[in-house]
Amino acid sequence: MKAKITAALSLVIMILLLVVFSSCGVKEAQREYIPLPSVTEAQFLDTLQYYSFLYFVNEINEETGLVKDRSADWSPSSIAATGFGVAAWIVGAERGWIPREQAVRYVSNLVRFLLASDHRGDTNSTGYKGFYYHFLKMNDGRREWKSELSSIDTGLLLAGLITAYEYFDRKTDEEKYIRESVIAIKERIEWDWMLMQKDYTQYPDHVGSLSMGWTPESGFHNMGWIGYNEAMILYVMAAGGDFKNAESAYKIWLSTYKWQEPYKGLQHFVFPPLFGHHYSHMFLDTKGLYDARTSEMNIDYFENTRRATLTQRLYCIENPHKWEGYDSLTWGITACDGPGETYNRDGRKYLGYAGRGTSGPEYNYFDDGTIAPTAAGGSVPYAPEICVPALYNMFTKYGPQGLWSKYGLKDAFNLTAGWIGPDYIGIDQGPIVIQIENYKSGLIWKYFMKNKYVRDGLKRLGFVKR
């Protein structure tokens, strides 16, 4: 996301790099297949969660706590993936997959790095005004790829840290240090600095919202966060902090919600990629949670996500573009890797990494036959009766073809192109680990919603629980 042409070019370069490294045929993927003993559908959910969790133990810099954006050797860190990693470490400690002391070490190293990092806001620093650059170098945590100072990615990092603040509640020096550091990290964010001004954008309805980001080369992004998408949690946390314009900004966010009925009985506020229904809701317990817009339509955010999930399954059953493999057990369209244009043939065109999604036949983004397991994985709490069988089907039917490997189900696959992605992506692994845990125990919801900062933000924005 970039505000000016030069910054936009850097984003194109990033995407091209991802495309170059995202091509992998089925035969190549089969070589990485890790056979498992036969497991039942119920056992499989535990297995998938554990294997997905291993990403956040192995693909990190233990000295800084930074988590890699993807499993490729060359990958930088993603600030959002790092926030998801914090929540995953909590799950691991709770499940006994790693000792609590190991999770404490990861988090304490992370907050120590964040507090000490270069925040001058120049082209080679880590952050500015309390916000962090989207991608950071794995070796030293400095800005990578001319990426933007990202409001939402900083917000998702903060969501993980707030959860850690509540979970690590013991009186040891290290856990006390985590709590003190999270407060310091939270309090140095200058939310009002990120407010969209008239001279930042040509879009009048974005003025007064939170900006998507900033770069030292080009200034503020020309778009703000207006609903509905993954950024709801950003407004909640800003409102819980010192964001003076929280109420007016949230009204702008709500004003652009789209209410549609893609299939009979499945009216909901739409956003085609399922990740937009997951990222905020991995932390916010949305069951019975209403704001002004959801109260108006008499639907809570939990049910809204459920309907978005059911819509995607029906779309893949209907399969209007006749992609190979789409059916009642093979569905899930969201931002992910893809085959890329080298697989184009027979009039079919494929994208590399893209923000794929569908909210029904009349409203979809970049549907090129690519399925991402994280789509069903992130929706497990909302529609387990369709998500768990779909994930199990991917494992049993396509796992032996290379879809299953060291961190569980690979990021994406396309049966029409005969392609399985070679990588795992941190922001796609995170929803699988976290949302399966929320389905089982509500662990991450419990600790995040316990936080006074979060509760104050919800109250200030007019949220109510029914």
User: What would the mean pLDDT of 300-309 be, rounded to a whole number?
Assistant: 99
| 3-state DSSP percent of the chain in helix, strand and coil, to 5 | 50, 15, 40
* Token pair listed for 85: 């990693």
For the chain, the average pLDDT equals: 94
pTM over 0.85: yes
From 24-38, 42-56, 73-87, the region with the lowest mean pLDDT: 24-38
Q: E strands within 187-298?
A: 213-215, 219-220, 259-260, 268-269, 289-290
In angstroms, what CA-CA distances link 111 with 70, 77, 106, 339, 360? 21, 15, 9, 37, 42
Residue 6 has pLDDT above 60, yes or no: no
Can you tell me whether residue 168 is helix, strand or coil?
coil
Q: What is the pLDDT of residue 40?
A: 81
Q: What is the pLDDT of residue 41?
A: 78
From 19-28, 84-93, 393-402, the region with the lowest mean pLDDT: 19-28
Q: What is the pLDDT of residue 4?
A: 35
**What is the set of domains in the chain, with CATH numbers?**
5-9+20-465 (1.50.10.140)
Q: What is the pLDDT of residue 33?
A: 64
User: What would the mean pLDDT of 252-279 be, rounded to a whole number?
Assistant: 98
Of 351, 387, 344, nearest to 366 by C-alpha is: 351
Band of pLDDT at residue 22, cut at 50, 70 and 90: very low
CA dist., res. 295 & res. 202, Å (int): 31
Band of pLDDT at residue 165, cut at 50, 70 and 90: very high
Q: What is the pLDDT of residue 32?
A: 64
Residue 178 has pLDDT above 50, yes or no: yes
Band of pLDDT at residue 12, cut at 50, 70 and 90: very low
Residue 218 has pLDDT above 90, yes or no: yes
Q: What is the pLDDT of residue 25?
A: 65
User: What would the mean pLDDT of 321-332 be, rounded to a whole number?
Assistant: 98
User: What would the mean pLDDT of 92-103 be, rounded to a whole number?
Assistant: 99
What's phi and psi for 212, nearest 5 deg?
-70, -25
Could you tell me if 227 and 221 are in contact, meaning their C-beta atoms sit under 8 angstroms apart?
A: no
Specify the DSSP class assigned to residue 120: B
